[in-house]
A and B are shown apart, each in its own frame.
Chain A
Amino acid sequence: MSAIIAGLGIIAPTGNTVEEYWEATLAGTNGIDELTRFDTTDYPSSLAGEITDFDAHALIPSKLMPQTDSMTRYALYAADRAVEDSHTTLEDLDPYDVGVFTSASGGAVEFGQRELQNLWAKGKEFVSAYQSFAWFYAVNTGQISIKNKTKGPSGVILSEQSGGLDAIAWADRKISRGLHYALCGGVDSALSPWGYVPQIASGRMTTSRNPSNAYQPFGTDASGYVTGEGGAILALTSPEEDLHEGDYYGRIIGHSSTFGEGPNALEACITQALGRAHLSPAHIDVIFADAAGVAAEDRAEALAITRVFGIEGPPVTMPKTSTGRLLAGAGALDAATACLALRHQIIPPSRCDYSLHAPFVVITEPTRAELSHALIIARGFGGFNSVLIISNT
């Protein structure tokens, strides 16, 4: 029996709480703007979805400040919110019965960049002792488990965007094998020059300077993605937990991962996830697209979706048009957004300030609908594909 999604913690360029984020998403608020974190004057790209109004000194314990950067602070915060939302007191649980599973892309690059600069500019004596772990890919999982004193099975997945879905599915699998409670998902931030420049070099990030339509997945003038920071942590609990409908968001009922660029591997991934959920394509009520914003990748995704669902398939939405692509945080934020869509029976809109060229219906206004099953697609740089299906019962 699959795990129950009992709590959500969201931190995004459009809101630092579930309520704020959901309201902004429905309103189509744009979280993308000129980067303020560092000077982009000499860079070909200059946009990002930045988190604002996050008072780390008020939200993060003082002892964790010198050993964390933005990414890990956001992750700790989102994990705390998820625990609260699940109405669970972790101290009441056996620490060996609580696990933490997160996704990562480049690790804590803001921390790593600062300390490498200290190393080369001043000398090894000036490198923080916390560099020994603070910039690692696994740091979010590590810090969340240490802060919450959890000791159960834990891990980290490095498959960029798709990792957020994989981490949730991994936690679900552990719970189906007896783990009681898990914090899972992904929160990322690469808004330092060292994290931003490689994305420019990949050729996949847009050089458009217009915040309102720079990132236009399935757009006629798609020119690449806009990066962003944030993500979501989900609290999963054992299905034996005595919860009533309405106390929880839903269940993970299907997942698959495949590897390969292009439509074939993604089509296989969607088909396998449906098979594991024992659903036919007609059972899916809404699709949260990966929405690369890179023309060739959009074509591949459109092809995979229409091959599985036909041309009169379920509506597609891509709320990440409001936040940018959050690297390892994106899949988890889409999963959390799907939970909110199922709870409120509303398909959140894509912010499409551009002309669409898609072979399916793209939702651009908040749309009431009977939603039982949401399918989320996420692709990670280099050929990672993941699909997660969430049911509201």
Chain B
Amino acid sequence: MNAELTTPVLADILRTSAGEDDGFQLDDNNLDSSFDDLGYDSLALLQVTGVLQQQYGLSVSDEQFQEADTPRKLLTLANQHITVNS
């Protein structure tokens, strides 16, 4: 069975690869906020998607990543393309 990217794991990856504002916690309440509103710029997302590609064996085009402009969309996209086992 393929591994699953969960909200807490994505939160960890965001924190370690791009940092976070004081008191911010990625959870169900802000999954539909845009990364832009959450303060993550294109370079931060490049860093995050690079980590996802390495850790989950994702093979997703840059265009697909760009369309995933909220955490929920990124979770859905990643979980559709994970190739590593849990």
Contact = CB atoms under 8 A, between A and B. Distances in A.
Q: Is the interface of B mostly helix, strand, loop or mixed?
A: helix
Residue of A63, A64, A65, A125 with highest tally of chain B CB at under 10 A: A63
Nearest to B15: A62
A194 interface: no
B19 interface: yes
A129 interface: yes
B53 A132 contact: no
A67 B48 CA distance: 13
B21 interface: yes
B26 to A, nearest CB: 13
Residue of A61, A65, A66, A125 with highest tally of chain B CB at under 10 A: A66
Contacts, number: 36
A25 to B, nearest CB: 35
A393 interface: no
B39 interface: yes
- Chain A contact-residue range equals 10 to 19
Contacts of A130: 43, 47
A353 to B, nearest CB: 43
Contact of A125 (B15, B20, B43, B53): B53
Interface of A: 61-67, 125-126, 128-130, 132
Contact of B39 (A63, A67, A126): A63
Contact of A129 (B21, B39, B47): B47
Given A125-B50, A125-B53, A63 B43 contact: no
B17 interface: yes
A129 B45 CA distance: 9
Contacts of A64: 19
Interface residues of B, number: 16
A44 B8 CA distance: 48
A90 B59 CA distance: 45
Nearest to A123: B54
Interface string B48-78: 0010011000000000000000000000000
Interface in B2-19: 15-19
Nearest to A64: B19
A63 B19 contact: yes
Nearest to B17: A66
Nearest to B48: A129
8 contacts: A62-B15, A62-B22, A63-B19, A63-B20, A63-B39, A66-B17, A66-B19, A129-B44
